[in-house]
Amino acid sequence: MERISTKQLQEQLRVYFIMGSNNCEKHPFDVLTEAIEGGITFFQFREKGHGALSGAEKVALAKELQAICRKYSIPFLVNDDVELALALDADGVHIGQEDERADIVRRKIGAKILGVSAHNLDEAKRAIEQGADYLGVGPIFPTNTKTDAKEAQGVEVLRHLREQGITIPIVGIGGITADNAKEVIRAGADGVSVISAISLANSPKESAKQLAKAVDDALHEKK
Ligand SMILES: Cc1ncc(COP(=O)(O)OP(=O)(O)O)c(N)n1
Ligand SMILES: Cc1ncsc1CCOP(=O)(O)O
Ligand SMILES: [Mg+2]
């Protein structure tokens, strides 16, 4: 298996939905199904925080969600838990600065997709040297979803990374909605990653649709 190309990943990262059971008021299976119907292009299973499942229950939910992603050809990544990603033969892993080192994870996962969180240029450069395929940059806007998130940086951080020569795919994260997604793309991101904008929406399908439209419109402006 070869590493995914930058072009293919850029395309796939447009609307990146992240979710765990504690992000939802409805059953996660239904939320993810609706989100896919609405047009999400990438999925991360992030089962952590207050009330998160563990052990066999976590594995069972991951398998259920992976099966829907497989059915609709949506890449399925696992947050933090490299061993789970390997056990499930997931499409990849997302890790942050407080997780296992990216070069070690790269060795473990071979050509699977590796996403790394970066908050500044130094972290971005190191992540790339260590084998990241894409960067998750944020929080861009204030978020209530991740209690230990750093301070929101605004879209300037994205512009800065691009001006300083970072060319690999980037998704913005943190407080992103259909109303501010265009700013994120215009500043240099290839896509937006969201949790609550979809997971807590009355209609995850409608919310995903609106996000996809905002992102696609902004990407067309750049062409
Ligand atoms: C796409 C994306 N970007 C950033 C993150 C945050 O990762 P991390 O800093 O490791 O925090 P946790 O999500 O593990 O709490 C992400 N998960 N996905
Ligand atoms: C996982 C993560 N990393 C930085 S902010 C964040 C939470 C994003 O959630 P939301 O889209 O609900 O603000
Ligand atoms: Mg992490």
pLDDT at 29: 98
What does the pLDDT read at residue 164? 98
Whether 101 is a known active-site residue: answer no
List residues, by chain if needed, whose CB lies under 5 Å from ion ligand 3.
Answer: 80, 96, 99
- Half-sphere exposure of residue 65: CA atoms within 13 angstroms, side-chain side: 32
* Homologous superfamily of 6-222: Aldolase class I (3.20.20.70)
Domain boundaries, the chain: 6-222
Mean pLDDT by 10 residues, the chain (223 residues): 94 98 97 98 97 97 98 98 98 98 98 98 98 98 95 98 98 98 98 98 98 98 86
96 labelled as ligand-binding? no
Q: Give the number of other Cβ atoms within 10 Å of residue 65's Cβ.
A: 24
Nearest to 138 by CA among 203, 77, 67, 188: 188
Confidence at residue 1, expressed as pLDDT on a 0 to 100 scale = 82
Task: Give pLDDT, residue 222.
Answer: 86
Q: Tell me, what's the pLDDT at 123?
A: 98
The interface predicted TM-score of the complex, written ipTM, equals 0.99
The CA–CA distances, whole Å, from 72 to 77, 121, 163 equal 14, 35, 36
Q: Is 117 tagged catalytic? A: yes
